[in-house]
Amino acid sequence: MKDTPKKASILIGPAGSGGKGHLKGLDEAARLKLDCMEIEFTYGVRMKPEMAETVGARAHELGLILSVHAPYYINLASYEDAKIEASRQRILDSCHRAHLMGARNVVFHAGFYQKRTSRETYRLIRREILDLQDHIRKTGWQVALCPEITGKPSQFGSTEELLELMQDTGCGITVDFAHLYARNQGVIDYDAVMPLLPESFHAHFSGIEYTAKGEKKHIRTRPGHFRPLLEALIRHGKQVTLINESPKPFEDAVMMKAMVKQPQQP
């Protein structure tokens, strides 16, 4: 007797507030009947703890799921101890604000290979992740570290590396399908990727431009680009929070949400 296929759950929302500010961004996401929103600490964790609590209360009131993107400059495999320590602090500050606002997933780009091999870089980042998780346990923060699949082959963060890291450390994962598309030069076999991924995970998506070096920039999301991913998520019964990172994240998230409701529409 075959197992009954699991029903997919695909929750859609924008990355950031679109320049509206966190609270107005949440109000807009709710007005548009989106499901979630990612709080972006792009250039630093400048949100005061009191504001994190206010943002969390508003999101709870509106029924929106929050996640947090840590600052972009993070390298847990740097040759300079000071840069590793600064990276750790950026991640921990992000985790603290995430905990206060009730956001579970904390997204970050883990590091760069530089002149190290993939295995050397993996061992360094694994050590730092374990140490960060120990700190998180001791503080009692209810958050999950979710390193992200990265868009350039020069960056640590292939699917294989992050799945191994997840198995080794118990951390989460952010599956950035746009990054994966750019990293693999426009090739994704979703039916090969999906069985490798957890049943439930956090993810990003948008249009993307790339060169031989990988990701160049995020662009608007086309329905025809999203449809193969959507159909694969449904086929494989995945439970996913899917954040749109295009230059127009609200508009494109609304388009994606409409496709989730009617996935078979042309």
Residuewise pLDDT in 10s, the chain (266 residues): 445 568 999 999 999 999 999 999 999 999 999 999 999 998 999 999 999 999 999 999 999 999 999 999 999 999 999 999 999 999 999 999 999 999 999 999 999 999 999 999 999 999 999 999 999 999 999 999 999 999 999 999 999 999 999 999 999 999 999 999 999 999 999 999 999 999 999 999 999 999 999 999 999 999 999 999 999 999 999 999 999 999 999 999 999 999 999 855 44
Residue 264 CA to residue 128 CA, distance in Å, equals 44
- Domain residue spans in the chain? 9-261
Question: Which residue, chain included where needed, has tokens 């979630």?
Answer: 36
CATH topology of domain 9-261: TIM Barrel (3.20.20)
The token pair that represents 25 in the structure block: 């961004």
Nearest to 176 by CA among 193, 154, 191, 192: 193
Asked whether the beta carbons of 12 and 258 are under 8 A apart, the reply is no
The confidence score (pLDDT) of residue 219 equals 96
Q: What does the DSSP 8-state code read for residue 9?
A: E
User: What number of other Cβ atoms are within 10 A of residue 250's Cβ?
Assistant: 23
Cα separation, 45 vs 60, in Å, equals 21
Structure letter (DSSP) for residue 79 = S
Please give the model's pTM, rounded to 2 decimal places: 0.94
Distance CA 128, CA 138 (A): 15
Angle at the Cα of 22 (from 20 to 220), degrees rounded to 5? Answer: 55
CB 239 within 8 A of CB 9: yes
pLDDT at residue 264, as a whole number: 56
Strand duo 174-176 + 207-211: pairing: unpaired
Residue 170: which region, alpha, beta or left (left: phi > 0; alpha: psi -120 to 50)? left
